[in-house]
Amino acid sequence: MSANELITEFLLAAEQGNTEALKACLEKGVDINVTNRQKRTALIIASLNKHYPCVELLLAAGANIDQQDNTCFNPFLISCLTNDITLLRIVLPYNPDLDRLTRFGGVGITPASEKGHVEIVRELLARTDINVNHTNFVGWTPLLEAIVLNDGGAKQQEIVKLLLEYGANPHMTDKYGKTPLELAREKGFTEIAELLVAAGA
């Protein structure tokens, strides 16, 4: 089998969730971090397809957990973006780099806060020291994203509460100098405004 055929087989095995085929390719000496045209590794492909046994096998075999594809995806960021708590719990023991950025310049907790992924946010805050006050490319912290980019509903209230509990700074403004409290009031998110006031905003 040529090197290219081996690579094709390896990446296909990741896509199909075939652990035996992955093992066979690794035994034949395939580069575990080889990528396809989108710069996706077998580990990224398996993560996107929720093939958890493959993810575990590849991580245990030494796959690069932090390597990112053309859209900045890696297993840790995929778990945060897609609300995949199972994937998050598999990757955390392998100490992923929590400072890797999404294509919008956020860290993992940024999109999770924006999208209302309560369980992910809770797990990240409880189990990692991810930067809760990280500012992305447009000047927004996870707290600002949780307020501005969603509906102010129960999930967002829970996320705001968690972020504040774990040290989110209620005074950090957006690039126009607006505070989280001003933005919450503008949107009519009374419950969120109350949480911010209680946190000293």
Q: What is the pLDDT of residue 185?
A: 98
Taking residues 90-113, what's their average pLDDT? 98
Q: What percent of the chain has pLDDT over 90?
A: 99
Helices (H), 49-189: 52-60, 75-82, 85-91, 109-115, 118-127, 142-148, 154-165, 180-187
Taking residues 84-113, what's their average pLDDT? 98
Q: What is the pLDDT of residue 170?
A: 97
SS (H, E, C) 42-53: HHHHHHHCCCHH
Burial 146-169 (b: 16+ CB within 10 A, else e): bbbebebeebbbbbbbbbbebebb
CB-CB contact of 147 with 187 (8 Å) = yes
Q: What is the pLDDT of residue 1?
A: 79
CB-CB contact of 17 with 49 (8 Å) = yes
Taking residues 93-110, what's their average pLDDT? 98
Q: What is the pLDDT of residue 106?
A: 97
pLDDT in tens, 161-193: 999 999 999 999 999 999 999 999 999 999 999
C-alpha span between 188 and 192 (Å, rounded): 9
Q: What percent of the chain has pLDDT over 70?
A: 100
Q: Which two tokens stand for residue 88?
A: 């998050």
pLDDT in tens, 139-152: 999 999 999 999 99
- Average pLDDT of every residue of the chain: 97
pLDDT in tens, 20-73: 999 999 999 999 999 999 999 999 999 999 999 999 999 999 999 999 999 999
Q: Which two tokens stand for residue 70?
A: 């053309």
C-alpha span between 67 and 144 (Å, rounded): 28
pLDDT in tens, 24-39: 999 999 999 999 999 9
CB atoms near residue 180 (< 10 Å): 29
φ, ψ of residue 5 in degrees (nearest 5): -65, -40
- Give the three-state DSSP class for 130: coil
Q: Is the dihedral of CA 135, 138, 139, 144 positive or negative?
A: negative
